[in-house]
Amino acid sequence: MVVDVLEIESEPTGLRQQANYWQAQHARACQREHSWKEMAQALEATVRQQAAQLKESSEENENLKARVLWLELQLFGQKSQKGKPKPEPSDPQDSETEVTDSNPPADPPEKKGKRGKKKGAKGYGRHLYDELVTEEIIHDLPEGEKRCSCCGKAFVEFPGTEDSQEIHLEVKLIRRIHKRKRYRPDCPCDVHPGIVTAPCPPKLIPKGLFSIGFWVRLLLEKFLFQRPLYRFRKVLELEWLFVSQGTLTGGLKRLGELLQPLYTRILERSRVAKHWHMDETRWMVFVEVAGKVGHRWWLWVVITEDTCAYLLDPSRSADVPRNHLGENAEGIINADRYSAYKVLEKEGHFRIAFCWFHVRQDFFRIHEEYAKLRAWADGWLKRINDLFDRNDRRLQSPQGSEPFRLEDQELGKALERVLETCKSELADPDLHRAAKKALVSLQNHWDGLLLFVDHPEIPMDNNESERRLRNPVVGRKNYYGSGSIWSGTLSAILFTLFQTLLLNHIDPQKHLVAYFEACARNGGKPPEDLEAFLPWNLSEERKVAWQYPLKRKNAGSPQKNQPP
């Protein structure tokens, strides 16, 4: 057999060409596979990114909706949280559930009755108001009606009168003319040369136009009733008294100097306590201060057993309470969860008793903002309400008694269950972000939230300071704050004085009148016996004379108001 040499030589070349071809195809396929894998990875990354953005947008949208609901509640809703939470929307299928012996129908809800006394209930009797100044007005028949219309014979007066009462309010301005009598000696002794004139009555502000009663009323209107100064001037204009703004502000500045010593004594009393309630709110002071941007200052309140001190400062830092209490002060502070109070606790001098009501408000907001978390928030609201109820029952018995000990044990067990529930729910990886935030805050502040257990005299909440800030907040809304530093300082002084007097059940009007009369007798300066005007140093006679009028429980009783 004859074999073609060229055919034999060309066969390996063809195989090599085919091998090269398939190798090139394989290389291109690998390259395409690699590029497709990169494209797939890029698409997966894009999908994950878009999913994350969608989730983030969904959460942000949910948070914004929750925020809108909360703002609507603050603007249009009920401010009190005493009412029961809104019930969870029921499933429409529940109405189609078959009623069986094992599934009896629920009892119909009880109808709420109208507020107030029920018909037929025994009343308290009519108010006598015998503590008010009484003015008797005699009403008589006209002369023509005192005789018989038939024979004309005069009626015989019957003993006694038929009485009825009305309460009359009269506000009037009086222009007092002090006429001092003058005398001329009529003897040759020459001991009293010239004319002898009766002395001038003591004045609060030398050569001032207004009386002590006028200034006291102005201070009450501005710093207790929170009426702006221009409105008070409008009231004066109705009585035909036209006085300039500068005249009144100038007098207020003088009065601030007289009241400063009382303010200083109240601050000193506040420092020596061992338990304080603290809070702060913004207060505008419209002056330019070096190193400070804007006009927002802060009005701090520090409450003890018998003092209520207000501190006006441009800062909201921990330096304000630290400087007020001093370096050697130690004790317990009831406060919210603001970081400035936590700084004081880290320094080791104070322990912070955090407010359970603020914790409750976290869950209340979740209840109002997130419909799908409403049932979960209801459970926590019930747990916290139960803690308040248990503590109230504990405090009804004297400390150290057997009922107190039993209730204290039950309270401790309830707190342990609350902490265990908090930890178990935090372990859930699918826990909602809002719920997790509330539970983390509860866990982080747990030690401070337990202080009321070992110290029964410490309340569970900080509502006392919240209440004492309401009055200044009304003033802030009515006249926006202060136009100068001295005006802001005067506001803090008067807020402190009025709220401290009310805390001690002392009438601010009677106290101020007596204090300013003492200042007037001292030549328009603070009196020498300043300590005698402090609420905790008052004599029993002054406590009775200056007591703040309390509502009588039995309005029909003729007894006067009893001292607190």
* 105 CB-near residues (< 8 Å, 6+ apart): 99
Average pLDDT over residues 68-72: 70
66, containing H or E segment:
helix 5-76
Which residue has better confidence, 112 or 53?
53
- Predicted confidence band at 112 (pLDDT cuts at 50, 70, 90)? low
Question: What's 506's DSSP letter?
Answer: B
Name residue 297's beta-bridge partners: 283
Is pLDDT above 80 for 85?
Answer: no
**pLDDT tens column, 24-34:** 888 888 888 88
Name residue 354's beta-bridge partners: 335
Model pLDDT, residue 13: 74
Is pLDDT above 90 for 204?
Answer: yes
Is pLDDT above 80 for 373?
Answer: yes
**pLDDT tens column, 411-453:** 999 999 999 999 999 999 999 999 999 999 999 999 999 999 9
Is pLDDT above 90 for 470?
Answer: yes
- Predicted confidence band at 394 (pLDDT cuts at 50, 70, 90)? very high
Average pLDDT over residues 452-468: 95
Model pLDDT, residue 33: 86
Q: Decide if 271 contacts 256 (C-beta within 8 A).
A: no
* 298 CB-near residues (< 8 Å, 6+ apart): 280, 281, 282, 283, 312, 313, 314, 315, 316, 320
Provide DSSP, 271-314. HT-SEEEEEEEEEEB-S--TT--SSEEEEEEEE-SS-EEEEEES
CB burial of residue 133 (10 Å; 0-12, 13-18, 19+): exposed
Model pLDDT, residue 118: 75
Model pLDDT, residue 94: 43
Terminal CA-CA length for the chain: 139
Closest by Cα among 387, 383, 355 to 460: 355
Closest by Cα among 482, 431, 35 to 223: 482
Average pLDDT over residues 337-366: 94
Model pLDDT, residue 193: 79
- Enumerate helices (H) and strands (E) in the chain, giving the number of each: 16, 7
Euclidean distance between CA atoms 441 and 339, whole angstroms = 13
Euclidean distance between CA atoms 516 and 521, whole angstroms = 9
Model pLDDT, residue 1: 46
Is pLDDT above 50 for 98?
Answer: no
Of the chain, the percentage scoring pLDDT greater than 90 comes to 62
The values of phi and psi at residue 298, to 5°, are -130, 135
Is pLDDT above 70 for 107?
Answer: no
Of the chain, the percentage scoring pLDDT greater than 70 comes to 87
Model pLDDT, residue 194: 85
CA distances from 516 to 228, 510, 530, 537, 543 (A): 23, 10, 11, 18, 17
Which residue has better confidence, 92 or 443?
443
3-state secondary structure of 215: helix
Euclidean distance between CA atoms 342 and 354, whole angstroms = 10
CB count in 10 Å sphere of residue 25 = 10
Q: Decide if 341 contacts 278 (C-beta within 8 A).
A: yes
Q: Decide if 81 contacts 364 (C-beta within 8 A).
A: yes
Question: What's 13's DSSP letter?
Answer: H
Is pLDDT above 70 for 92?
Answer: no
Opening angle at CA 247, ends 242 and 253, nearest 5: 145
Average pLDDT over residues 484-509: 97
CB count in 10 Å sphere of residue 4 = 8
The values of phi and psi at residue 547, to 5°, are -60, 145
333, containing H or E segment:
strand 331-335
pTM, to two decimals:
0.80
DSSP H helical ranges for 396-525: 402-426, 433-444, 446-449, 451-454, 463-479, 485-503, 508-521
- Predicted confidence band at 91 (pLDDT cuts at 50, 70, 90)? very low
Q: Decide if 310 contacts 299 (C-beta within 8 A).
A: yes
Mean pLDDT of the chain: 86
**pLDDT tens column, 148-174:** 888 888 999 899 999 888 888 888 899
**pLDDT tens column, 299-324:** 999 999 999 999 999 999 999 999 99
Model pLDDT, residue 186: 85
Euclidean distance between CA atoms 17 and 139, whole angstroms = 138
User: Three-state SS across 531-556?
Assistant: HHHCHHHCCHHHHHHCECCCCCCCCC
Q: Decide if 411 contacts 387 (C-beta within 8 A).
A: yes
Model pLDDT, residue 551: 61
**pLDDT tens column, 543-557:** 999 999 876 544 343
Euclidean distance between CA atoms 447 and 424, whole angstroms = 18
Closest by Cα among 370, 367, 366, 379 to 425: 379
Name residue 303's beta-bridge partners: 277, 308
- Predicted confidence band at 5 (pLDDT cuts at 50, 70, 90)? very low
Closest by Cα among 463, 426, 465 to 446: 426
Is pLDDT above 90 for 12?
Answer: no
Euclidean distance between CA atoms 517 and 507, whole angstroms = 16
- Domain ranges (residues) in the chain: 202-355+462-564
Nearest-10 crossing angle of helices 402-426, 433-444? 140
Model pLDDT, residue 41: 86
**pLDDT tens column, 232-259:** 999 999 999 999 999 999 999 999 999 9
The token pair that represents 503 in the structure block: 């805390």
Average pLDDT over residues 331-347: 94
Express the helix, strand and coil content of the chain in percent, nearest 5 each.
Answer: 50, 10, 40
Euclidean distance between CA atoms 303 and 464, whole angstroms = 8
Is pLDDT above 60 for 88?
Answer: no
Question: What's 90's DSSP letter?
Answer: P
Model pLDDT, residue 479: 93
- Predicted confidence band at 129 (pLDDT cuts at 50, 70, 90)? confident
Is pLDDT above 50 for 182?
Answer: yes
Q: Decide if 444 contacts 361 (C-beta within 8 A).
A: no
* 254 CB-near residues (< 8 Å, 6+ apart): 205
